[in-house]
Amino acid sequence: MTIEEELKGRFRNDYHKGLINLTYTARQLSYEFFQSLKSHNITEQQYNVLRILRGFRSEAPLCIGFIKERMLDKDSDVSRIIDRLYEKELVSREENPTDRRLKTIEITEKGLGLLDRLFDCEKKADTLLNNLSDNEISELNALLDKIRG
């Protein structure tokens, strides 16, 4: 189905259509996954932080600045996200003894367990692009990289 049929609308030009199509498609693809995050009482940003902490465990403990540089949403308040994850016992944090403003963060076993439970949801999300061939998915990734410049 075309984006015009899906939204029952028209666009100023192909660039406008492309932007709306990209936004709409991204939201549609991620909706189901984000619903599963809600069912586990976790937000998209909290999930992103946990994934970063798991991915860089060999370099742990990590500081908030390191995490912020790798966030999908660059406007996230990482300190507050860490606070919420700490309350849920999904991360541990320690103050730097020489500079109390600096905190080091690590994912806990409970946090790793949650990511393990969410793995089936991740795999299901991967299948949303199954209608693309390997070459098409590579091309899509290259085009998205090109859009960001």
Residue 91 has a pLDDT of 97
Instruction: Return the CATH fold of 40-148.
Output: Arc Repressor Mutant, subunit A (1.10.10)
**Residue 96 confidence (pLDDT) above 80:** no
Average pLDDT over residues 110-126: 87
| pLDDT tens for each residue of 22-70 | 999 888 888 878 888 998 999 999 999 999 999 999 998 899 999 999 9
Domain boundaries along the sequence of the chain:
1-39, 40-148
Residue 33 has a pLDDT of 83
Q: Could you tell me the CA-to-CA distances from 48 to 82, 83, 97, 132 in Å, in that order? A: 11, 14, 27, 25
HEC states along 90-103? CEEEEECCCCCCCE
